[in-house]
Structure 1
Amino acid sequence: MVFRKILKRMISVGLTTVIVGTLMMGCGSKANVGGANSDPSKLDPVTLKMYLIGDKPKDFDEVYGKVNEIMKEKINATLDISFLPWSDMTTKYQLLFQSGENFDIIFTASSWGYYSQVATKNGFYEITDDMLKEYAPNIYENEPKEAWEQAKINDKIYMIPSDQVEYGTRVFGARGDLMKKYGIEKIENYDDLEAYMDAVSKDTESGIKVIANGGGQNLQYPYMMEKYAFGGIAGVPTPSIGFDVNDQSGKIFAYVDRPEYLEYAKKMKEFADKGYWSSDSISSKATRDEDFMAGKTATMVWNIGSVADRAERMNKTHPEWDVQVADQTTGINRMINTYTNNGIAINSISKNPERALMAIDLLRYDKDIYDLTWYGIEGKHYKADGDDKYTSLDGSDGFPTANVCPWGWYSQKLGRSPADEPPIVGQIKDKWEKEYTVTNPLAAFSFDDSNVKNEMAAVGNVITQYGVPIDLGMCSDVEEAVKEYKEKLNEAGFDKIYAECEKQVAEYMKQHNS
């Protein structure tokens, strides 16, 4: 019901009805591999090198060994997977292309996965209609038209977007046993959340920190952007330029120029001084969920699906923790993610781009491969419940269901949802859809950095050197730190990036409104 309502809203603002056809085609079919890949015996064997984001789970080789058996049979290819840890994402992703590393396939995303930055530097292979028809017929047949429009950079496509309709809004995981201990009845807004976090920070004898705020600066999105109903411009240095999701005019702004940014910076200083996170967070490699799942922190923050997954797994191993999904965003408007928020791309120097595309088609539409890459081995990592539900098993620690970076090939046609998903998840999503969902033309805009490549690199370095310490509250004088940050940004050429972005947005809005 929720999806149908969201779909109706999407269609009302001009998105394609191709999704409807996708949903009506059923969930149990095998991929129809056709064209050049119809006879694998005529294809030379190849190994496709692929990069995923995250840390390699212990059962990964076993699972992907089974994936490769099917790949070998169908397209005479196997996948050789490397992982780029979350903690290295910001520093090493683009270096893979700058160094000329030889690989074929990689996860990408418009808002957080460097899609436009790499595409405009000729790092990704152009995907054409003819290629899709020949080597990825299932993707060609099923991908929503709007997804292709969102993926265009200078009228060319360099990624295969997910076809998922999802919210990216961050929520928190919270320990119900600690809430009870500290007399916190509910968490429905930021005041409730901070009352809980303050209580945890004051209980120094427990040894539990509030949050693992290492690499990724986990509170940027919920506290710098979503709290104020700000959206981010895709393709600019992250985070730097945004817009008000409630403003349809196309007006943009630099976060650092907003009074809300100073308010955010002071809040992070307050949290750091209260000991919410470790003093070594600026160099920490901590992920957003590991310490929470180990009982070392009292909260984690991520999208609602990921938080619900961790809550479900933790409550199986530690039912006494009573882990809950806490939505602090009541009363705040938000948008549905673009399709390009998750996707897959081919390296421009790949020696086998056609076979890579064939492999992506199988990842997306072969039922056996899809279930393996998303959920693991049935009976060991998950239990199938019909064609569209699953239950994680105790063995999923070896291959966390839906969390080994399969998001780039999500398929509405084959996707499963957790059979034991907490009812609160559906209730929260339904509330968001009914009361707090808006559309904005800038959600689909992506900045082309072709004219400011040197400035992009310089500004990225400034964000790391001067912005991250502010995110972590590690500055003695917040106002002076923000002032210095602004000065360093402009010295690095941020004003030129901003002017170029304004120019492109104006042209985009002109076309949008015509």
Structure 2
Amino acid sequence: MKGQKTKASTWIVPGTSVLLATTIVISGCSTTEKKSESTSPAASPAASAAASTSPTKDFVEISWYMPKPIDNMKDQEAVEAAANKLIKEKLNANVKFNLIDNAGWEDKIKLKSAAGEPYDLVFTSNSSNNLNANVQKGAFMPLDDLLQKYGQNILKKVDPRAWKAVTYKGKIMAIPAQTPYSPASAYVFKKDLVEKYKFDYKNVKSLADLEPFLKTIKENEPNMIPVIATANGATSGVGLPDYTTVVGGISYSEKDGKFVKTLDIPQNYENYRIMNDFYKKGYIAKDAAIKTDYLAEAKSGKYAVLRDSGGYTEDGSKSTSTYGFPTVETFSSQPTISTASMTAAATAISATSKNPERAMMLLDYIWSDKYLLNTLAYGVEGKNYIVKSGTVKDANPTIEAKSGAEQTWAIWHNWLGPLWDQWDSNWNSTKALEAMKKTNDNGKASGLLGFVFNNEPVKTEIAQINAVNKEANPIFTTGSMPDYPKYVEDTKKKLVDAGIDKVIAEIQKQYDAWKAGK
């Protein structure tokens, strides 16, 4: 998904990348048995034999629910027909996608589960159709036996560390997607401007290092805004890579092993003091706090400095492809791999599924066949994309998928599962995918990996804290407060009144129990 941004969806990023992250890592039973500490489920000869004789005698239709990836989805019938030719032949089944508008997604899928309605596959994550909450409610089916019998290709490709993030009391409850678990963030610059003003962008190591360039743009480019900032998109450089968000306003220090209020972190205070300074100097748009479509703003070409488009590439190819104009990038920071980042996209089988075996077979087929995966993601050749080199039956063709108003089909690859099998395209180049995978492989795991906070004992306080964060986040991310020190202190007080201290105490209690259980 990273690198595949949509207007409709905003997904959590690992680490404390904005001041008061509002996504809550909630619910779920935090204690895992020793099985969850292993690498990945081992495949046995018996399981392989069972898979080879898997029951496909009766034809079935496999239902798959997910939020609508883009608003303008019009080619579902054609895409499903192309995919189902393969699926029918191999599995004696069809797949039927149920794509729900984002505005109603959470409510509709919750009601469906609560009513016990039968369905098969469903998108889940730490922030959308929350995995942990669903496990607590018994909405999902344990997958261990199904993976052993029918998921051999999945077992080969899932990052072994990721099973910890989806394991509850020793049972695997979802299949974690291949996705950037620890995406390095970057400062991104319009290439023509750094060349025009001979700015040494490679030596930018902090927010403060941007000042000379922003000043130059402000004084010499009246039609440009020096740096992008929006209500839901923090500027590169404000991240806290040594901290992992637990709930909004509370972070875990990877160095100290302690839970702290994010507003109390000195580096966080300094980062947003600088953003406030930039705002006062006119480097940030005056109406930045009411801008909510980060990608549209970035693609407009009116900003000199942007943030990465979902990952850092040394040659700038990823942001150039996403934003539509030449860019250059320099590394900013890399967060730790957390439970939240490893569950940014996952697929579960409903506890009400009447066809769990065939559902697992379908997932395994997608994880094994690049053509099927990319057909479901990109759509139909000639209708939704064109081939620029090679053929779609090759291992590595290069394609150009339609975008913008012309795009009428898209499912992001990691919503389906195997991101690294994506064809080279304008969504992600092969080089960008390789860079993301390398970052994953080299990423450091958080001390909280496998810990899941159950917010039920403090759900009232969490709701109150979220209300404070919803109001404060756009102001902090854009620096648009008139009196910075006062705004910080006022927000701190509001969070205390909302019950943040009680929440920290509950997190610590659950963490201590989890650690003792390990």
Equivalent residue number for residue 277 of structure 2: 270
Q: Which residue of 2 aligns with 1:340?
A: 343
2:65 to 27, 49, 53: 49
Contact map agreement 2:63 2:121 (CA 8 A) in 1: no
Q: Could you say which structure has the higher helix fraction? A: 1
Task: Note if 1:469 corresponds to 2:475.
Answer: yes
Counterpart pick for 2:125 among 90, 100, 109: 109
Q: CA deviation at 1:455?
A: 2.4
Shift in Å, 1:138: 4.1
Give the whole-Å Cα distance in 2 for the aligned partners of 1:17 and 1:474. Answer: 46
Is the 1:120–1:449 contact (alpha carbons within 8 Å) kept by the matching residues of 2?
Answer: no
Q: Is the 8 A contact 1:381 1:392 kept in 2?
A: yes
Contact 2:298/2:323 (<8 A) preserved: no
Q: 318, 323, 328: which one pairs with 1:324? A: 328
Shift of 1:362: 3.7
**Separation in 2, partners of 1:166, 1:358:** 26
Q: Which residue of 2 aligns with 1:243?
A: 252
User: Structure 2 vs 1, CA of residues 96 and 124 (structure 1 numbering), >3 Å: closer, same or farther?
Assistant: same
CA distance in 2, matches of 1:281, 1:164: 30
| Cα distance, 1:499 vs structure 2 | 0.9
Give the AA of the match of 2:514.
Y
* Offset at residue 177 of structure 1 (A): 0.3
| Conservation of the 8 A alpha-carbon contact between 1:268 and 1:471 | yes
**Map of 2:97 onto structure 1:** 80
Write the distance in 1 (CA, Å) between the matches of 2:251 and 2:54. Answer: 44
- Structure 2 vs 1, CA of residues 50 and 334 (structure 1 numbering), >3 Å: closer, same or farther? closer
Alpha-carbon distance change, 34 to 165 in structure 1, aligned in 2, over 3 angstroms: farther
Counterpart CA distance in 1 for 2:302 and 2:398 is 26
> Structure 2-normalised TM-score?
0.72
2:374 aligned residue: 371
- Helix, strand or coil: the match of 1:206? coil
The whole-number CA distance in structure 2 between the counterparts of 1:262 and 1:43 is: 60
Is this contact kept in 2: 1:48–1:356, CA < 8 A?
Answer: no
| CA distance in 1 between partners of 2:77 and 2:171 (Å) | 35
Per-residue displacement from partner, 1:252-285 (whole Å, max 9, x unpaired)? 2121222233223322322333444444444433
Partner SS state of residue 240, structure 2 = helix
The match for 1:231 among 234, 239, 244 is 244
Query: 1:178 offset after TM fit, Å?
Result: 1.2
How far apart in 1 are the matches of 2:81 and 2:278?
A: 45
1:38 paired with 2:51, answer: no
Structure 1 residues 105 and 45, CA, compared in 2 at 3 Å: closer, same or farther? closer
Mapped partners of 1:170, 1:195: distance in 2? 21
Q: Distance in 2 between matches of 1:454 and 1:310?
A: 40
- Aligned partner (choices 289, 293, 302) of residue 309 of structure 2: 302
Sequence identity, in percent? Answer: 21
The C-alpha deviation readout for 1:469-488, integer Å capped at 9, x for no partner, is 22232322222222222222
For the 8 Å contact 1:161–1:342, the answer to whether it is kept is yes
| Structure 1 length-normalised TM | 0.72
Mapped to 2, the partners of 1:277 and 1:494 lie a distance apart of 31
How far did 1:464 drift?
A: 0.5
Answer whether contact 1:51 1:106 (CA < 8 A) is retained: no
Residues 180-189 or 270-279, more deviating: 270-279
Partner SS state of residue 303, structure 1 = coil
Q: How many Å apart are 1:370 and its aligned residue? A: 1.0
The one-letter code matched in structure 1 to 2:183 is: G
- What amino acid is the match of 1:502? Q
Q: How does 1:434-445 map to 2 (within 5 A)?
A: 438-445=444-451
Letter paired with 2:271: Y
Alignment equivalent of 1:206, drawn from 217, 223, 229: 223
Separation in 1 of the partners of 2:435 and 2:130?
33
**Cα shift readout 1:222-241 (whole Å, capped 9, x = no counterpart):** 41423xx32223xx3xx322
* 1:332-388 residue CA offsets vs partner (Å, 9 max, x unmatched): x64346543431235566776666545433433333221223454457345458966
The separation in 1 between residues aligned to 2:96 and 2:226, in whole angstroms, is 40
SS in 1 for 2:480: coil
Distance 1:433 1:17, change over 3 A: closer
> Counterpart of 2:227 in 1: which secondary structure?
coil
Query: Does residue 450 of structure 1 match 2:456?
Result: yes
Amino acid of the structure 1 residue aligned with 2:413: P
Give ranges in structure 1 of 5+ residues lacking alignment.
1-13, 22-31, 316-320
> Deviations 1:431-454 (Å, cap 9, x if unpaired)?
9988xx544322332212232223
Over 3 Å counting, the alpha-carbon distance change for 1:429 and 1:156 in structure 2 is closer
Q: Please tell me whether the aligned partners of residues 53 and 405 of structure 1 are also in contact (alpha carbons under 8 angstroms).
A: yes
Q: Deviation per CA, 1:17-54, whole angstroms, max 9, x where unpaired? A: 65999xxxxxxxxxx98666523xx1344544332555
Q: Measure, in 2, the Cα distance between the counterparts of 1:60 and 1:378.
A: 14
Deviation at 1:123, TM superposition (A): 7.5
Are the equivalent residues in 2 in contact too, given 1:378–1:384 (CA < 8 A)?
no
Q: Specify whether residues 203 and 381 from structure 1 end up closer, same or farther in structure 2 by C-alpha distance, changes over 3 A only.
A: farther
Deviation of 1:71 after TM superposition, in Å, equals 4.2
How many residue pairs match? The answer is 459
Mean alpha-carbon deviation: is it higher for 169-178 or for 365-374?
Answer: 365-374
What residue identity is the alignment partner of 1:411? P
SS at structure 1 position matched to 2:309: strand
Letter in 2 for 1:175: K
- The AA in structure 1 aligned to 2:447 is P
- What amino acid is aligned across from residue 369 of structure 1 in structure 2? L
Change (3 A) 1:356 1:271: farther
Contact 1:50 1:82 in 2 (8 A): yes
Change (3 A) 1:368 1:149: same
Following TM superposition, by how much is the alpha carbon of 1:135 offset from its aligned partner in structure 2, in angstroms?
6.1
2:266 pairs, out of 259, 269, 272, with 259
Work out the CA distance in 1 between the residues paired with 2:412 and 2:68: 6
Quick one: distance in 2 between partners of 1:493 and 1:107?
Answer: 32
1:462 positional shift: 1.9
Moved more, 176-185 or 449-458: 449-458
Aligned to 1:408: 415
CA contact (8 A) 1:250 1:441 kept: yes
**1:155 deviation in Å?**
4.6
The change in CA–CA distance for 1:389 and 1:262 in structure 2 (over 3 A counts) is: same
Distance 2:484 2:135 in 1: 36
Q: Which amino acid aligns with 2:280?
A: D
CA drift of 1:412 comes to: 7.5
Shift of 1:506: 1.9
Distance 1:365 1:426 in 2: 18
Give, in whole Å, the separation in 2 of the partners of 1:476 and 1:261. 18
CA contact (8 A) 2:151 2:360 kept: yes
